[in-house]
Amino acid sequence: MGTTEVIFWFLTAVAVFSALMMVFSKNPVHSVLWLILVFFTISGHYLLMNAQFLFIVNLIVYAGAIMVLFLFVIMLMNMEGDSEPRKNQWMTLAGIISGGTLMLVLVAALKDTGTQRQLVQMKEGQIGLIHHLGMVLFKDYVVPFEISSVLFLSAMVGAVIIGKK
Amino acid sequence: MTNHLNLLPYLSIDFALLFEKLLLIIVVVTGSLVVAMYTTYAERRIAGFLQDRRGPNRAGPFGILQPLADGLKLFMKEDIIPTSSSKWLFIMGPGLAMLTAVMTGAVIPWGSALKIGEKVVSLQIADINIGILFIFGVVSMGVYGIMIGGWASNNKFSLLAAIRGASQIISYELAMGLSLIALLMLTGSLSMKTIVEQQMQGGWGGFLGWNIIYQPLGFLLFLICAFAECNRTPFDLPEAENELNFGYHQEYSSMKLGFYLFAEYINMFISSTVMATLFFGGYDIPFVNEANLANHWGPNIVALLGTVCLLIKSFLFLFVFIWVRWTIPRFRYDQLMDLGWKKMIPLALANMVITGAIVLWLNK
Amino acid sequence: MQALTNRVKVLDQKPLTFKERLYLPAIFSGMLITFSHLFKKKATINYPEQKRPFSPVFRGLHILNRDEEGRERCTACGLCAVSCPAEAITMESAERQKGEEGLYREEKYAAKYEINMLRCIFCGLCEEACPKDAIYLTETFAPANYSRKSFIYGKPDLLIPDPTKEPEAFAKAQGGIKAHKEKVR
């Protein structure tokens, strides 16, 4: 077991633990903080695969920007135990069923893909470096990339319009 | 034999490298702490001079022991954790602020390289090819120090200040990133070391290669954003005394407060160094050809001179930080947002488009 | 409306011009102003080492004067207490006994003489009222203290040193009084 594997298993353990803590902690702010830790560990995994750009972008965008906005909203809301509406039992059941279905689909999808046999390139993969990523994004996938930017633009315009109302 | 011991030979760690980097990390961290300490002293002293006063001059000759006295005072103060605060987060806040402040120093090239015997020791902790992005990532983590501290204090003013601070930092991070993109178009690299080495190639011993000559607007935008990111006047709204009492660290006392204040000064130092590195040639000694000089004096002396040069540049920026603080009054919150979103971002975009067009035209 | 003086400045409420909205020129000129202050003479002094000269009419803590032979000049006539607008001075008189001629100048003297420095307004009326040159206001001011009681200055605090015992200290105190008199005149 080399250094990389040790770090990998450590990060994995922390990621799973903090993901569970995120689900089970009562305080929503704590949940968000655990989620941030999850993002950190996943970024660590990116780094192990030598995907430095993905590592840092995951940190900047998810842990740095989106989770801050989450925290904003949660901190400003009054999260008292009493104010939470009582849930219908049918709702709980529906939640369990839909969640279970989703998990089933995910497991099935993972089972069918060839990931089990194909090992992840550790340490020396080049695809995650910014140079290669740029080449791929702007040469092979220019059209989808630009279309997704239009999607973002339309989302922003929509937000502005809703905000103006 | 336990399994534990068996593991060691398989862990392929280069211990010489580890030791070298560890030493460098210690030097950089203590260095930035000492600089931050003396920035507090310089701040008070320069504030005194700018206001026709004398500033602190009692502790030691010219008062140079003042930061030690301040630190000792902070250590000795009673450490209060409010009963209604959430304890662990309350402790975590200043720790995070300090951690993120210190971490940025890792990707800054503090000098070229020392040659000890056969070994070449780079004066940069990590030359990763996403250096600038790393700084952005760490800075965006810095928000959590403020937010967690402000929220965990369980105080309205702290919370308001924390939210102000966070939204301010997020807003200005955008403009900061956009202002840098134009620079990155010129350099074509995100690695800090490459950027410095490119600047050293310019005429007049590197002086004409400095990016400030090609990116004046970008530098101005970056400077303004750096002020906002460090929560310095005129953007020190998270600490606005007259409306939020003491800002997000209102409930903090003793060394936890000290950590917050210290983190601010370390951030200032690091952003000064980043500005010096990106726009002012980093460890490039202006009007001097380093390669020639290295032949005369040996590479080690030149490398150290380069480090001194970088430090001088960043101290000048620190002076600007302090100078601006005692000149310009604080922005109102809506003015701050207005400036950030309606002026800085369009200007940065325009700068980006113009630079892009020129680069395309020149490369044709 | 007609202006009353020619110093009136009309407030200009036009919207900012483009140059003004750039802010930067104004910021730079402001920064130049603050920078020039780096080299200006400091308005403050290093206090305990350096002291500012008092104004000639400065009135500080009181002293009770002695004559050249070390006798107290005060006769407890009470004029100072009467003149005191803050009623800070109280005294008790006593008759001089045989053998005390070296201590008191006249037949009557102040057995107790107290000034409440918290009440005193340092107007100097006591000094003007005194017919015997016995009370003067000096150039020291009352030091800080923890209790109110300590601000009631009795005779031991107020009397200047005895010339027969401490001639140098007496000369110093007398010199102060002389300089004070000349300045006031």
Band the pLDDT of A121: cuts 50, 70, 90. Answer: low
Query: Does the beta carbon of C25 lie under 8 angstroms from any beta carbon of chain B?
Result: no
Judge: B166–A6 Cβ closer than 8 Å, yes or no.
Answer: no
ipTM: 0.78
**Residues of C whose CB is below 8 A from B326:** 34
Cβ neighbour number for residue B203 with a 10 Å cutoff: 8
pLDDT of residue C83: 92
Query: Domain for residue A38, yes or no?
Result: yes
A87 within a domain of the structure (yes/no): no
Q: What is the structure's pLDDT at A84?
A: 59
- Residue B1: predicted pLDDT: 33
**Helix (H), strand (E) at residue B66:** helix B66-76
A75 with A133, same domain? no
Contact B35, B271 (CB under 8 A): no
B328 with C30: Cβ contact below 8 A: yes
Cβ atoms of A36 and B41 within 8 Å: the answer is no
- Under 8 Å between Cβ of B157 and B245: yes
Band (A150; pLDDT cuts 50, 70, 90): very high
Q: Report if residue A1 sits inside a domain.
A: yes
In percent, the amount of chain A with pLDDT more than 90 equals 22
The answer to the question of residue A133 being in a domain is: yes
Inter-chain contact B129–A6, Cβ cutoff 8 Å? no
Q: What's the predicted TM-score (pTM) here?
A: 0.80
The pLDDT, as a whole number, for residue C52 is 83
Instruction: Please say whether the beta carbons of B133 and B181 come within 8 A.
Output: no
Query: Which of A8-12, B177-181, C174-178 shows the lowest mean pLDDT across its residues?
Result: C174-178
In a domain, A25, yes or no: yes
State the nearest Cα–Cα gap between B79 and chain A, in angstroms.
24
Q: Does B335 touch chain C (CB under 8 A)?
A: no
Q: Is residue A58 part of a domain?
A: yes
- Residue from A75, A126, A152, A153 whose CB has the most chain B CBs within 10 Å, to mutate: A75
By Cβ distance, the residue of A29, A30, A63 closest to B141 is A63
**How many structural domains compose chain A?**
2
Q: To the nearest whole angstrom, how far is the Cα of B97 from the nearest Cα of chain C? A: 30
Which domains occur in chain C, in start order?
A: 62-184 (3.30.70.3270)
* Nearest-angstrom CA–CA distance, B322 and B89: 31
User: Do the domain assignments include residue A103?
Assistant: no
Is residue A71 located within the same domain as residue A146?
Answer: no
Alpha carbons B346 and B363: distance in angstroms, whole number:
26
| Judgement on whether residues A72 and A141 belong to the same structural domain of the protein | no
Query: Which tokens is C168 given?
Result: 């140098």
What is the CATH classification number for the domain harbouring A48? 1.20.120.1200
What stretches in chain B show pLDDT beneath 50? Answer: 1-10
Question: In whole angstroms, what is the distance from residue B282 CA to residue B37 CA?
Answer: 23
Q: Are both A6 and A76 inside the same structural domain?
A: yes
Burial B93-108 (b: 16+ CB within 10 A, else e): bbebbbbbbbbbbbbb
Alpha-carbon distance A59 to A54, whole Å? 8
Q: Tens digits of per-residue pLDDT, C84-112? A: 999 999 999 888 888 888 888 888 888 89
In this structure, is residue A92 part of a structural domain? no
Say which range, B43-47, B65-69, C21-25, C114-118, has the weakest mean pLDDT.
C21-25
Which of B52, B57, B324 is closest, CB to CB, to C37?
B52
User: Residue C36: is its pLDDT beyond 50?
Assistant: yes
Q: State the smallest CA–CA distance between residue A127 and chain B in angstroms.
A: 14
Give per-residue burial for B14-24: e unless 16+ CB within 10 Å, then b. Answer: eeeeeebbeeb
Domain that holds residue A156: 129-165
